[in-house]
Amino acid sequence: MGSGSSVNANYKYSLQKSENAFKAAVLIQRWYRRYVARLEMRRRCTWRIFQSIEYACEQDQIKLHNFFSYLMDHFTPSSSKERDFISRMFVSGESFKEAELEKYCDYESMEVPDSYTGPRLSFPLLPDHATALLEAFKQKQQLHARYVLNLLHETRKHLKQLPNISHVSTCYSEEVTVCGDLHGQLDDLFLIFYKNGLPSPSKSYVFNGDFVDRGKQSLEVLIILFTFLLIYPKEVHLNRGNHEDHMVNLRYGFTKEVMQKYKVHGKKILKMIQNVFCWLPLATLIDQKVLVIHGGISDTTDLDMLEKIQRNKPRPAQAPSMANRLEFSRWVRQTVQEQIEWCRRLVDISESESEELTYSSMVSLTDLDGPCWTRQEEWKQILDILWSDPMPQEGCTANTVRGGGCYFGPDVTGKILEKYNLQFLIRSHECKQEGYEFCHNRKVLTIFSASNYYEIGSNRGAYVKLGPDLVPHFVQYQANKTAHTLTMTQRISRVEESAFRALREKLFAHTSALISAFKAYDKDNTGRIALSNWATAVESVLHLGLPWRMLRPQLVPSTADGMLEYKSWLDDLAMEQRSQEHIQSSLLEVIYRNRSNLETIFRIIDRDHSGLISFEEFHQTWKLFSAHMNIELTDDGINDLVRSIDFNKDGNIDFNEFLEAFRLVKQSQ
């Protein structure tokens, strides 16, 4: 028995110790929770950056399209040669009749050399062919062009006899698996097949569009999907997505991929694919209760109309309503001026001219031998299905961010579900962190199957399985081994780095606009701006809707006095960009801002997808632009221009040389 006081002392000591431990624990927990919260904020900001840049890019595409539209409406060809050129340039020969298409894309005369070790397809296709293809693509082999074309021909034949809306029943195969956007990410498709099994008579699949673009193996994805489609026509269903469209493919990489992989036969393959895309069904109905479409719906969605229209018809000539013609012209002028820096002045349109144009455009609109709907109405139905996005608020508004389709609210969903006695919608079209997401009170399910879409670690992919009870079961995955081994912090840092790089590039691309905006806050011309004003200024230029004050620490060096030297900050940005680019130019910024626009223009002019424009093509295009942009240049001037930009003197202009042309002209003005 120890002395009383030492027992007391021991007791006091251990009491204090446990008090200390408690306090210490609270402190550590408090600190850690704050760390996690910051990480969560960073993750969300990163996501917002990627999304806003992605949608801003889509907007660019629309604006470019509108520019061409304007040119088409107002250019008067001065010779038949020019007229031919224009019609070639802007009408992509979809009027190819079936027989012409088969003749042009003939494959039977193509010989496959003995040295070819890839899969050899024979029709009708068998499951062994599919396995051989999967194996070949895993080994990074390429399917011979002859088989690609053959496959495309057979696919087209098959798709043509399908209705616009496919019907699937869960009583035949117990389960239906629905996959969302794949965007050329073959690894994700492999992963889905690995986890879920290959398509078979007891395993139905619906692939909900956007098979191509962005990812580097769009063609392989397409080949595999078409192969399974032909082997198991009752079990495999494909819906068209907004990326199954040749104009979109020009910008987002699919066209480029095909031409790079098939240098000789790429054109033919693209022509066939273009046609096959038009024949893809628009929607799938599961058990008459679940509607699967790529984008969404609108308040005017009419399934009866959708079932009856001819889905492969070319789009009607675009013309706004008569009442808004002038407004439209004015707006187009304004848009072009904003977006395409080198178009300085635009031709003025007289009122009479516009009235005339309107009349002729309106006439072309009505399809005299069609059913009771106008072409415009039919196309709106398709656009809504392929481009719309759900929104939390009620109502139905035009989807101005995408430029097509609508934003539809929960009331619209409710209305359409009730009208057609449906339980819920499945759609894709939007990347989701977890690969899937419900909205509209679980009546709309978004399913997205391209994991790591923005960057490694950015998001998971998912697919959904439905049984006869139509209760969705989800499987998520992430197709990159590295993503698994990284800690949460590392994953977020990595994606964040990528997002900020993209953001800095965008900032750089707007250097002069930013300088003007900063100067507005710097009346005394000190070259400095308060950090608190930096955020407002940047948003006024970029219009990305990002939380700039949250992002500021990562974009701008912290300063003792809260003031930023903006010129040197922008110089630092420029240095970072210039080191990645060969083109030496003080107008690098202009080129950057318009880079993807210019690339698209290039690809449109480059009709045979050779990666080169001939002098002749360039000449014609230049005349077209300069006539309406009031850039004076004689024929000799154009020839000199052309010769001066052909850097490697091979008689052709490649993309980099093309970019240079615009810099040169702007300088000499």
Partner 1 sequence: MATGAGSLMVVVPPRRVHPEVMAAGPTASSRRGVASRAAVTAEPAAGANGAVAEIEKKIIEAFEVFDHECNKTVDVREIGSIVRSLGCFPTEAELHELLAKVEEEEPTGYIHLEKFLPVMTKVLLDRSYRPIPEDVLLHAFEALDENKCGYISKEKLVKYLTEEGEPFTQEEMEDMLSTALDPETNTVHYRDYISMMTVDET
Shortest separation between residue 4's beta carbon and partner 1, angstroms: 26
Q: Which residues pair with 168 in a beta bridge?
A: 286
Residue 444 backbone dihedrals phi, psi, to 5 degrees? -125, 125
Least separation in angstroms between CB 480 and partner 1 = 18
Report yes or no: 213 and 184 within 8 Å, Cβ to Cβ.
yes
- H/E segment holding residue 400: none
Task: Please classify residue 121 by burial: count the beta carbons closer than 10 Å to its beta carbon, then call 0-12 exposed, 13-18 middle and 19+ buried.
Answer: buried
Q: 144, 183, 237, 243: which one is catalytic? A: 243
3-state secondary structure of 311: coil
* Least CB distance to partner 1 at residue 173 (A): 31
Among residues 106 and 394, whose Cβ is nearest to partner 1? Answer: 394
Strand 612-614 with 652-654, pairing: antiparallel
Is 440 among the residues known to form the active site? no
Per-residue burial over 412-449, b = 16 or more CB atoms within 10 Å of its CB, e = otherwise: bbebbbeeeebebbbbbbbbbeebbbeebeebbbbbbb
Which residue lies nearer to partner 1 by CB, 40 or 84? Answer: 40
Q: What is the DSSP letter of 272?
A: H
Per the rule left: phi > 0, alpha: psi between -120 and 50, beta: everything else, 190 is: alpha
Which tokens is 279 given? 């024949």
Closest approach of partner 1 to the CB of residue 2, in Å? 22
Q: Which is nearer to partner 1, 480 or 533 (CB)?
A: 533
| Nearest residue (CB) to partner 1, 60 versus 235 | 60
> Which residue, 141 or 335, has its beta carbon nearer to partner 1?
335
Closer residue to partner 1, CB minimum distance, 27 or 520: 27
d(Cα 451, Cα 517) in Å, to the nearest integer?
Answer: 38
Cβ-Cβ contacts under 8 Å for 332 (sequence gap 6 or more): 66, 67, 69, 70
Cα distance between residue 293 and residue 445, in whole Å: 11
Greatest alpha-carbon pair distance for the chain in Å reads 118
Burial environment of residue 512 by CB neighbours within 10 A (0 to 12, 13 to 18, 19 or more): middle
- Least CB distance to partner 1 at residue 545 (A): 3
* Least separation in angstroms between CB 437 and partner 1: 10
Q: What backbone torsions phi and psi does residue 300 show, to the nearest 5 degrees?
A: -105, 10
Decide if 409 contacts 393 (C-beta within 8 A). yes
Which CB, 41 or 363, lies closer to partner 1?
41
Q: What tokens were used for 404?
A: 């097509």
Beta-strand pair 528-530/563-565: antiparallel
Q: What is the DSSP string of 510-545?
A: THHHHHHHHHHH-TT--SEEEHHHHHHHHHHHH---
CB-nearer residue toward partner 1: 178 or 278: 278
Quote the least distance from Cβ 161 to partner 1, whole Å: 18
Three-class DSSP labels, 327-346:
HHHHHHHHHHHHHCCCCCCC
C-beta of residue 210 within 8 angstroms of C-beta of residue 182:
yes
In whole angstroms, the minimum distance from the beta carbon of 213 to partner 1 comes to 13
d(CA 666, CA 109): 49
Closest listed residue to residue 242, CA positions, set 101, 61, 455: 61
CB of 246 to partner 1, least distance (A): 6
Residue (24 or 112) nearer to partner 1, CB: 24
Among residues 303 and 386, whose Cβ is nearest to partner 1?
386
Minimum distance of partner 1 from residue 11's CB (angstroms): 18
Amino acid at 328: F
3-state secondary structure of 71: helix
Strand partners, 612: 654
Give the residue numbers marked as catalytic. Answer: 243
